[in-house]
Amino acid sequence: MEATISNPAALLFPASYRRRVLCLLLLHPERALHVREIARLTGTTAGTLNKELTRLHGAGLLTRERVGNQVRYAANRASPIYTELAGILRKTIGLADVLADALAPSAPAISTAFIFGSVARGAETAGSDVDVMLIGSLTFGEAVQLLYPAQATVGREINSMVFSADDWRARIRAKNPFVHEVLAKPKIFLIGNDDELEKLGRRQPR
Amino acid sequence: MSLKNLVGVSLDELPASRELVTRLLKAAKSQIADARVTSITAETRFGAAYSAIRMLADVALNANGYRTLTNRPGHHQTAIQTLPLTIGLPAQTVQILDALRKQRHVTEYSGDLVPESAVLECVSQAQALQTAVRAWLKTNRPNLL
> DSSP letter string over B102-133?
HHHHHHHHH-----HHHHHHHHHHHHHHHHHH
Distance CA B118, CA A36 (A): 42
The number of folded domains in chain B is 1
Q: Is residue B36 part of a domain?
A: yes
Instruction: Determine the pLDDT at residue B7.
Output: 94
Looking up residue B33, the CATH number of its domain turns out to be 1.20.120.330
Position B6 in a domain = no
pLDDT grade for A3, boundaries at 50, 70 and 90:
very low
Residue B17 to chain A, least CA–CA distance (Å):
33
Helices (H) and strands (E) counted in chain A, each on its own, are 12, 7
**Is residue B17 within 8 Å of residue B99, measured between CB atoms?**
no
Q: What is the mean pLDDT of residues A119-147?
A: 90
Contact between chains at B120 and A140 (C-beta distance less than 8 A): yes
Domains A8-86 and A94-200 belong to one CATH topology = no
Q: How far apart are CA A159 and CA A182, in angstroms?
A: 14
pLDDT greater at residue A28 or residue A93: A28
Return d(Cα A102, Cα A134) in angstroms, integer: 13
CA A22/CA A26 separation, integer angstroms: 5
Q: Is residue B3 part of a domain?
A: no
Query: What are the sequence ranges of the domains in chain A?
Result: 8-86, 94-200
The CATH number fitting domain A94-200, selected from 3.10.350.10, 2.60.40.2550, 3.30.460.10, 3.40.309.10 = 3.30.460.10
Band of residue A5 on the pLDDT scale cut at 50, 70, 90: very low
Please check whether residue B8 lies inside any domain of the structure.
no
Q: Does residue B7 sit within a domain?
A: no
The percent of residues in chain B predicted with pLDDT above 70, rounded, is: 100
Any B CB within 8 A of A14 CB: no
Sorting pLDDT into bands at 50, 70 and 90, what band is A153?
confident
User: Could you give the CA distance from residue B134 to residue A34 in angstroms, rounded to a whole number?
Assistant: 51
Q: Does domain A8-86 have CATH number 1.10.10.10?
A: yes
CB atoms within 10 A of CB B67: 19
pLDDT the model gives residue A125: 77
Q: What is the DSSP string of B24-74?
A: HHHHHHHHHHHHT-TTS-HHHHHHHHHHHHHHHHHHHHHHTTEEE-TTSTT
Q: Give the residue from chain A lying closest to B93, CA to CA.
A: A141
Asked whether this complex has an ipTM greater than 0.95, the answer is no
Q: Rg of chain A over CA atoms, in angstroms?
A: 19
Residue A7 confidence (pLDDT): 56
- The pTM of this model reads 0.77
pLDDT at residue number A98: 85
Q: Identify whether B61 is part of a domain.
A: yes
Nearest to A162 by CA among A84, A110, A100: A110
B69, part of any domain: yes
Asked if pLDDT for residue B118 goes beyond 90, the answer is yes
Asked if residue B39 is part of any domain, the answer here is yes
Tell me if B116 and A163 make a contact (CB, 8 A cut-off).
yes
Of A11 and A10, the one with more pLDDT: A11
pLDDT score recorded for residue B110:
75
Lowest mean pLDDT segment, chosen from A2-16, A62-76, A110-124, A157-171:
A2-16
**Mean pLDDT value across chain A:** 88
Strand runs labelled E in chain A: 33-34, 62-67, 70-75, 110-116, 130-136, 158-163, 188-191
Residue A4 has a pLDDT of 42
Task: Say whether pLDDT at A189 is over 80.
Answer: yes
- Residue B130: which domain range? 15-144
- Contacting residues of B for A161, CB less than 8 Å apart: 103, 115, 118
